[in-house]
A and B are shown apart, each in its own frame.
Chain A
Amino acid sequence: MKQDYGDNILSLEDIHTYYENIHALKGITCTIPQGSIVCLIGANGAGKTTTLLTISGVESARRGRILFEGREIEKLPPEKIAALGIAQSPEGRQIFSRMSVLENLEMGAYLRKDKEGIQKDMEWVFSLFPVLKDRHRQMGGTLSGGEQQMLAIGRALMQQPKLLLLDEPSLGLAPKIIEKIFETIQEINKNGMTIFLVEQNAHMALTTSDIGYVMETGRIVLEDDASALLENEEVQKAYLGE
């Protein structure tokens, strides 16, 4: 059984999203408690990325409600949602490759006006990912895969979000770097930020998270505490390869 984690920062209620005629999300319902790490695992094409993009407003839900801090956001454009405090680090390390690392981070703070706060957060991002500080003048596109992932997360953090959405932070990275990134994710969470994580690397995601959701072809098929899911036989068979 799921434990009670207190107030939900975000809840999705029966979300349906379509790409033209393809029914990508077929009624997603899930909740993300304040201050937790929640992960959504599932195979390729299950609709994980679509779920995140629907939350951020890049894709629009045809049916259902999304509540962020009690406010309906499913009809808002992406920039309004970003302004409310939801930041997303997109899949496949979509950084601005012909901008320097510094400029990438500054783009993250695009909506912010508080110069001191931006400077402080910049320092914080550099302390989380010291390699970014070493390369702050380098073009984003010339970074290695792991560094680009760090930059994408850093850029999202520069938005000073209340909820951080991470789309496959482990994609295409070496095991050692994946570990480092997940450690940092936990550190960010300890700072009080709620994190919603989408992953194919089920083992890493579930050991890091508090709550887990399992997704299959546009539907959520399982939800439980992450530790319970790790023990779940079906999950072990399908996603943990045991």
Chain B
Amino acid sequence: MLGQEIKKLVVYTIFLTIIILPMLGFTGGAEFQAKRAFVVLGVGVALLVLNLIVKVIRSHRPLPEHDQPSITERIADRLHQIPKIFTIGPLLLAAVIFPLVANNYMIDVGITCLIYVCLGLGLNIVVGLCGLLDLGYIAFYAVGAYSYSLLNLTYGFSFWAALPIGVVLGMICGCIIGYPTLKMRGDYLAIVTLGFGEIIRLVLNNWDDLTAGPNGLFGMKRPPLYYPAFEEGGLEMVTYYLTSLPGLFYFILVIVILTTIGVNRLDKSRIGRAWIAIREDEVAAELSGVPTTWIKLLAYAMGAGFASIAGAFFAAKLSYVNPNFFLFMESCIVLCIVVLGGIGSIPGIIIAGFILIAVPEVFRELEGFRMLAFGAIMTTMMIIRPEGLIPASRRKRELHHRRDEAERGSK
């Protein structure tokens, strides 16, 4: 036991040395900065040694009688027990206060987080509930963004008039990718959706007359709010464009709240049940009378619709879009949010959205090391907690019953 652990320690140390020394040693110039690199390596190795010591101590303690649930699982359990008002209330309060105390940079990051939460919730319908792996999800976000941009720039549509059109266009695109892939699953579906995502991006990049190609579109109006005002000529509607960051933050916060309510409703509905049945076993769902064709298309359409809303907001907020905002990497990040949060779990996705968007910002100082840290966190998460941060209650119950089973078996 000890020998094996020591062997592991040596292997990990060599691995860390290979990665950390060149990466941190040569930032910014050809000169090797020994101090910085070795300090980080030292911290890494110290952590490994500490881990070894803890393991050795633990192995000397007698095993607990019952298999204790892990601490995060217990926290998740607790969270499910507390009445919703106590968990959601403070969260909302924090979200409302946040723009008042944070600086502009933080608010901007916060807005990006919320946009990605919205995307994650939408993708959760396709991946989490219906079980269809979609690697080109960002395409629908692009459709939403470009719909608003073009409608606003060409025809002067306001945000509110363009939004439903963008959502419908997004849904149509969802069905376009959904229909030919109805009989596909898993790897094949992933490849087709990946291709679709790239097609949309390439079209946006190359259709110069319509989309201005790689230069992108700019000058879109911000989302307007209307309020009545009493003037000389009587009642008049005044248009106020949300230009300040806190204003935009509250705006996307409302969108996220509405999205959450919508997705939650869908999850618990008859349609949500049908999606889960398709994910579990398509033939069995078909035999139970679920019209799988329509229900799957609906999943694509709904997912695409939510992405379009986020896209339209994104274009309006930035007043600028170009095809490079919609790279494959973005699809990956959204998928990571869904997986990291716990497939099918709405609170998990909200938290993961914040972590995955905010953590790279926190690590900005690490420069080249930043994406590595991001990758390391993802990998570690998937190893120690494959079911996600806050597993959906369905998954959790399953694990819970496994434990029950084991206990019954041992009696």
Contacts and interface: CB of A to CB of B under 8 A. Distances in A.
Contacts of B289: 78-79, 82-83, 110-111, 159
A58 B286 contact: yes
A117 B277 CA distance: 22
B283 A90 contact: yes
Interface string B284-298: 111111111100000
A98 B394 contact: yes
A138 interface: yes
A15 to B, nearest CB: 18
Of B274, B288, B404, the most chain A CB neighbours within 10 A belong to: B288
Interface residues of B, number: 27
Nearest to B400: A139
A45 interface: no
A97 interface: yes
A107 B277 contact: yes
A142 B287 contact: no
B397 interface: yes
Contact of B397 (A111, A139, A152): A139
Contacts of B8: none
B318 to A, nearest CB: 40
A142 B280 contact: no
Interface of B: 270, 273-274, 276-277, 279-281, 283-293, 394-395, 397-398, 401-402, 404-405
Interface residues of A, number: 33
A61 interface: no
A64 interface: no
Contacts of A56: 286-287
A138 B405 CA distance: 10
A95 B286 contact: no
Contacts of B394: 98-99
B281 A94 contact: yes
B277 A99 contact: yes
Interface string A88-114: 101000111111100100111011000
A106 to B, nearest CB: 8
Interface in A154-174: 155-156, 159
A132 B402 CA distance: 17
A110 B281 contact: no
A142 B405 contact: yes
B401 A94 contact: no
Nearest to B284: A94
Nearest to A142: B401
B397 to A, nearest CB: 7
Contacts of A97: 280-281
A110 B287 contact: no
Interface in A5-58: 53, 56, 58
A78 B291 CA distance: 8
Contacts of B281: 94-97
Nearest to A86: B287
A88 B287 CA distance: 6
Nearest to B276: A99
A110 B290 contact: yes
Interface string A216-231: 0000000000000000
B396 to A, nearest CB: 11
Contacts of A155: 284, 288
A145 interface: no
A107 B398 contact: no
A174 B285 CA distance: 27
Nearest to B295: A79
Contacts of B273: 103, 106-107, 110
Contacts of A152: 284
A70 interface: no
A55 B393 CA distance: 37
Nearest to A108: B288
A218 B281 CA distance: 26
Contacts of B288: 82, 107-108, 110-111, 155, 159
B395 to A, nearest CB: 7
Contacts of B397: 100, 137, 139
A96 B280 contact: yes
A77 interface: yes
A139 B277 CA distance: 13
Contacts of A139: 397-398, 401
Nearest to A158: B288
B29 to A, nearest CB: 53
B277 A96 contact: yes
B278 to A, nearest CB: 10
Contacts of B291: 77, 79
Contacts of B280: 95-99
